[in-house]
Amino acid sequence: MERILFGDNQFFAVNHISDEKSRAQAIKFKDDAAIMKVLDDARAAGINTFMCTTHDRIANVCDIIRDNPEKYEGFKIYPCMPYAHKYANAVTELGIVGTLKEYVPGNFFGSLFKGGMAVISKDFISIMELLIDAEMKMFKGIDTPVIFLQNVITDLLLGLGMKDFLIAFAHHIEKKYNAEAGFITMNLPQLLPVLEEGGIKNPIICASINKVNFRMSGGKELYEQILSEGRARVIAMQVLGGGAIPAREALEYVSKLPNVESILFGASSKQNIQNTVETINHYDSQKIMVS
């Protein structure tokens, strides 16, 4: 994985500290061209990986990338599935079974329901695989070397003790997409042993890691200890602690942590993107000099 990954929260009005800023972002990125402009700014700053949720609008981004193969040569996308609000809203509207009927592709579900519950019961893992395939459709023909499960699902399954689905996710991603599975989580200390027990060694885990202990369940010290053990390929996200820390200080902290393979960040302005990349590079070069 590249050292710096570019995120997509800013494009979809995800702002952890301000509803006002969310709205401003929604207005700014109303048109796909505005998203592409920022992605091009990120590429110009040397970032070639875009880590994004499987939001409907990412399908448009994928179309543009496919239509311009020369321009986007070497550009990678790390899909993060699912876009949770889509399913959450559907569950409110249709219930759990109704949502499955709506989103599991083909006649699979229809025929199973006709056949009664007994038929369906045995193969929930296959249903999950179908949902993964449905989410992956938009990325056809695009280089997606790592495919992530979003934190709300990872952590939901973790809390429910449903590790079989986490492991099955990884297996399906490897087998069908010839890619590596990644897990986004707010609970790194609890997730890692579960993945290890399931036979996933040195998993790719994207977790909230920042100087102010923001969304680091179990506490910063525990995270630092786990990082020092080098048992996972870790991507640090929410490095600014939801905006609570000055950028430079935040990036210095996370750049200097051991075994953080990549840093994920999102920004809307060219200047911000450049500054962030330069700051990370600066602290990385210091680290190299020290070692």
Partner 1 sequence: MLKVALIGAGKMGISHLSILGAHPDVQIVGVCDTSKIVSEVLEKYSGFECFTDYLKMVDKTKPDAVFVAVPTKFHYKMVKDLLERGKHVFSEKPFCLNPQESKELVDIAKSKKLINQVGYHNKFVGTFQEVKRIVDAGYIGDIQHFTGEAYGPVVIKKKSETWRSDPNEGGGCLMDYASHVIDLINDILSPIDSCKGAMLKSIYSKQVDDAVYALVGIESGETGVISVNWSDETYRKMSTSVTIIGSKGKIVSDANELKVYFKTKDFPEGYSKGWNVKYVTDLTEEVSFYLRGEEYSAQIDYFIKAVQGIVPNVINTFESAWKTDLSISIIKKSS
- 22 versus 279: smaller Cβ distance to partner 1: 22
Q: Are strands 146-149 and 180-185 parallel, antiparallel or unpaired?
A: parallel
**CA distances (Å), 253 to each of 9, 28, 239, 256, in order?**
22, 31, 9, 6
The DSSP bridge pattern shows strands 146-149 and 260-265 to be unpaired
Q: Which of 1, 2, 3, 26 binds partner 1 (CB under 8 A)?
A: 26
Q: How far is the CB of 218 from partner 1 (least distance, A)?
A: 6
Q: How far is the CB of 279 from partner 1 (least distance, A)?
A: 21
Of 253, 258, 245, 260, nearest in space to 279 by CA:
253
Asked if 23 touches partner 1 (CB under 8 A), the answer is: yes
Is residue 13 a contact residue for partner 1 (CB under 8 A)?
yes
Whole-number minimum distance, CB 120 to partner 1, in Å?
Answer: 7
Size of the site for partner 1 (CB under 8 A): 54
- Binding of partner 1 by 17 (CB under 8 A): yes
Q: Which amino acid is at 12?
A: F
Helix H or strand E encompassing 263: strand 260-265
Binding part of the chain for partner 1, among 11-19, 29-37, 39-47, 131-139 by CB under 8 A, reads: 11-19
Least Cβ distance, residue 145 to partner 1 (angstroms) = 28
Under rule CB under 8 A, residue 199 binds partner 1: no
Give least dist CB 45 to partner 1, A: 27
For partner 1, the closer of residues 100 and 232 by Cβ is 100
98 is an interface residue for partner 1 by CB under 8 A: yes
Interacting residue with partner 1 among 155, 172, 184, 237 (CB under 8 A): 155
Task: Check binding of 215 to partner 1 (CB under 8 A).
Answer: yes
Q: How far apart are CA 226 and CA 220, in angstroms?
A: 10
**Of 1, 2, 16, 279, the one binding partner 1 by CB under 8 A:** 16
Question: Each residue of 155-177: b (16+ CB within 10 Å) or e?
Answer: bebbeeeebebbbbbbebbeeeb
Cα→Cα distances 14→19, 22, 38, Å:
9, 6, 16
**With contact defined as beta carbons under 8 Å apart, do 232 and 262 qualify?**
no
Residue 230 binds partner 1 (CB under 8 A): no
Q: Rule CB under 8 A: say whether 120 interacts with partner 1.
A: yes
Say if residue 266 is exposed, middle or buried (CB neighbours under 10 Å; 0-12, 13-18, 19+). buried
Within 54-93, the residues that bind partner 1 by CB under 8 A are 85, 88-89, 91-93
Closest listed residue to residue 272, CA positions, set 240, 241, 244: 240
Residues that bind partner 1 (CB under 8 A): 12-20, 22-23, 26, 85, 88-89, 91-98, 100, 117, 120-121, 124, 152, 155-162, 164-165, 186-187, 190, 212-219, 241-244
